[in-house]
Structures are given as structure tokens and as C-alpha cells.
Amino acid sequence: MSRADIHPTPPSELPEGWRLEGRRALVTGGTRGIGRAIVEQLLGFGCRVFLVARNQSELDERVGEWQARGYPVDGFAADLGREADRRRLVDWLAGQVEALEILVNNAGSNLRKPFLDYRLEEYEALMRLNLTAAFRLCQLTFPLLKNAGSASVVNIASVAGLTHLPTGAPYAISKAGLIQLTRNLAVEWAEHGIRVNCIAPWYIRTPLTEGVLSQPEYRSRVLARTPLGRIGRPEEVAGLAVFLCLPIAGYISGQTIAVDGGFLCKGM
């Protein structure tokens, strides 16, 4: 399946409750992997998408590709691990729209080490990008989300936030925090018509995982723990992210859903 084939059905022909045309979405980490797939599927459903990435040239290239296909998309270069950049982003966004129906907190990174080998600055950098950025973007975009009347926040966590994996303690801590943030906000923001959900992927073929998955022994261990017997695709995470934003999913909030090929339920 090519990227152009992901959405063969025009948004206007989708059944009631399965449409997002005219909705406005902010996606962080939107130029690669899961984030890129989410942007593409939201565009396919008729959303106007604003995406964020650190690399200006890569951002310009992706936005140019989508705009050339006629999609309503704009990009903003920012390091979301920095508060000044987070504020600049939301100020820019508020200058574009008065309301925001969708926020996808996808930006994240990892540094795999044994627990005792982490330096404090490495731990703090991972927490700033993986957890604090989502925490602050939720705070800063709240007026726009509230103005929408009905909005959806989707946080991209990991099964590392639910069980032990050899991915490193700081990464796991940040993802567990994102899962709990989801629960708290789902309760606090329900009165404003804002739903908050979380996705916890297992190994998905992205630039963040290609290094470890290129090691035959490690890849074999991953596949042995995965009942479906394969590595996931970014589009399979993106499909769930988009579904959680649809009106038909309007009674789903506070949930963390694993996209893991059955990994969490396998046990011994």
C-alpha cells in the first residue's frame, strides 16, 4: 500500500460520525515515523493540520510535499524540550486559529542505557521532551481546545510505560507519566468537552527503533514476544489515533490502548 492509497474515500462520502473535515489539529513530531503517519491520515480525513518538528529543512520538505498534493497543512520548527519554543509555537498557533479540535502529543526520543549509566542531564532532557512538553502543551493549548466545544487529545506513550522493557528507565518513566497525565486530564477536562486518550505502541518500524531492530538477535527476541509475529507499521498506530478523534469515538476518554501485536497479553 502506498501512502497515496491510505485514504481512497473522500471525507464527504464517509458515514456520519466518521468525518473530520474542517477540524484543526496540532501534531508534534510530525515529520517522521508515527507522527508523519498521523498527519497523513488526518489530512486524508479532511483536517487542517499544523505540525511541529525540530529540523527546519525536513519540516519544509514534508510540508511542501503535502501542500503540493493540495492538503491544508502548515509547519512550525521548534524544540519542544524548551519552554520558550513551546510558547512560541502556541502563540503562532493562536494567530492562525481561534479553536483547536485535536492535539496529538507525539514528539519523543530515547537514550538506551543501564540505569546506573545515565547522567542527570540525560535524564532531565528525556523528561523535558517526552513528558514535560506534553504537559505544557496541554496547558498552553487549553483555551483553544476549550473554544472548540468538543476536542480530543491523543498522547503517544509506549508499552514501556506499562511493563518492563530494555529501553531504559527514563524513557519508561516518561511514558508512564504520560499515561497517568491522560487519566487525570480525562477527568478534569470532561466538563469542557475535551476527551483525552493514550496509545501505547510496542515496536513500530520508525527511525527511533530501526537501530535496535537492525540487530538480528534483538529483532528475533522482539518477534518471539509478539503473538502476531511481526513489527508494527506507523499507519497502524495512526489509524487508532485518528479513530480516537472521530465523533463516533465520543464516549471514549481516559483510556490507554496498546498497539502491540498481542505483546502485553502473552506472558510466559
Element (H or E) spanning 27, and its range?
strand 24-28
| pLDDT band for position 7 (cuts 50, 70, 90) | low
What pLDDT is stored for residue 48 in this prediction?
98
Do 90 and 140 form a contact (C-beta atoms < 8 A)? Answer: yes
Radius of gyration (Cα) for the chain, nearest Å?
18
Measure the CA–CA gap between 265 and 268, rounded to whole angstroms.
Answer: 9
- DSSP letter at 158 equals -
Element (H or E) spanning 152, and its range?
strand 151-156
For residue 158, pLDDT beyond 60: yes
Q: Domain extents for the chain?
A: 15-260
Average pLDDT on 15-41 reads 95
Least confident segment among 10-19, 24-33, 252-261:
10-19
Which three cell numbers mark 24? 484543526
User: What is the CATH T-level fold of the domain 15-260, as seen in this structure?
Assistant: Rossmann fold (3.40.50)
Question: pLDDT for 225-240, tens place per residue?
Answer: 999 999 999 999 999 9
Question: pLDDT for 32-56, tens place per residue?
Answer: 999 999 999 999 999 999 999 999 9
Measure the CA–CA gap between 202 and 158, rounded to whole angstroms.
Answer: 6
Sign of CA dihedral 35, 37, 43, 47: negative
Distances (CA, A) of 230 to 111, 158, 223, 263: 24, 17, 6, 11
Sign of CA dihedral 201, 101, 173, 52: positive
Q: Three-class SS of residue 132? A: helix
In whole numbers, what is the pLDDT of the chain averaged over residues?
94
Active site residues: 171
| pLDDT band for position 8 (cuts 50, 70, 90) | very low
